[in-house]
Amino acid sequence: MPLILITNDDGITAGGIRELVSIARQYGEVIVVAPDGPQSAQGHAITIEQPIFVRKSTALGEDIEAYECSGTPVDCVKIAKSVLLKGRVPDLCLSGINHGSNAAINIIYSGTMSAAMEASLEGIPSIGFSFLNYRAEADFSVCRPYVEKLTQFVLDNGMEEGSLFNVNIPDLPANQIQGIRICRQAEARWVEEYQAGEDPRGRPYYWLTGKFVNEDEREDTDANALQNGYVSLVPSHHDLTNHSALKKLQLIESFLQPETAGDSSAPPTSGQQLEQF
């Protein structure tokens, strides 16, 4: 049977991971390694200044091999691979189901997606699932058919090494979701604001808030798909190279060399190349 690693960033008692475990058990052997409490917006953080504690957990049922971890979502994946699995390599990593969107720039901040990305770095096909509902009593069953379909697809067909799927599901009744759209990440961002206050001891504090701004009006984005009632699937990876800028900068590489550089073999940069850049 396939071995499926499950994690999240909302903690081992979250409703989303319970739904994910219920689904994954249909397809293979499941092991869960998840934070012992909420770890949202931890990004790709890892724990290096203190020990990590791991304990067996029955939060998901006595018949589920599950562990709660004191570290970040990425720590959970690392601990699973390096310690708990004892050399076994999962066939698939599923992360989530997250409370709230991880579309657009949210993938950078998300603990859910960073856990999936860590698995992909280790050569494990991975999918991060998010449901656009922040309520504690959210009904994750609407996500079920999409999680099932994508889990089966990846187990049957594999995934390009280093790749992962970022899947976001709109907060709509099941009969109003229009299907899945394969799309790109929207060029959108958060505009931060900080609410100032004072604690009981008179110390000033700042509480992060803000609003999500999407100025990308093209139709091929995850933000557009979600706005129109579709599940968005963005194939992602960890390569953050700006390939367009790379090609341009390579044209003027010689111009960027200081006079003290030892390698003078590069041809000189022309004025025309600089103008084109």
Domain boundary assignment for the chain = 3-186+217-237, 243-276
8 Å CB contact between 170 and 102: no
The answer to whether the annotation marks 175 as part of a ligand binding site is: no
Q: How confident is the model at residue 263 (pLDDT cuts 50, 70, 90)?
A: low
Q: How confident is the model at residue 156 (pLDDT cuts 50, 70, 90)?
A: very high
pTM for this structure?
Answer: 0.88
Q: How confident is the model at residue 119 (pLDDT cuts 50, 70, 90)?
A: very high
- Predicted confidence at residue 212, as pLDDT, reads 84
CA angle centred on 219, ends 213 and 222, rounded to 5° = 60
- Percent of the chain predicted with pLDDT > 70: 94
Give the torsion sign (CA, 141, 156, 67, 49): negative
- Predicted confidence at residue 262, as pLDDT, reads 66
Q: Which of 23-37, 92-106, 116-130, 237-251 has the lowest mean pLDDT?
A: 237-251
- Predicted confidence at residue 268, as pLDDT, reads 63
- Predicted confidence at residue 93, as pLDDT, reads 98
Specify which residues 208 forms β-bridges with. Answer: 194
- Predicted confidence at residue 197, as pLDDT, reads 94
What is residue 141's DSSP assignment? G
Residue found by looking up tokens 């076994």 in the block: 88
d(CA 248, CA 40): 37
CA angle centred on 11, ends 41 and 146, rounded to 5° = 85
- The per-residue pLDDT of the chain, averaged, comes to 91
The answer to whether the annotation marks 9 as part of a ligand binding site is: yes
Does domain 3-186+217-237 correspond to CATH entry 3.30.360.10? no
- Predicted confidence at residue 246, as pLDDT, reads 87
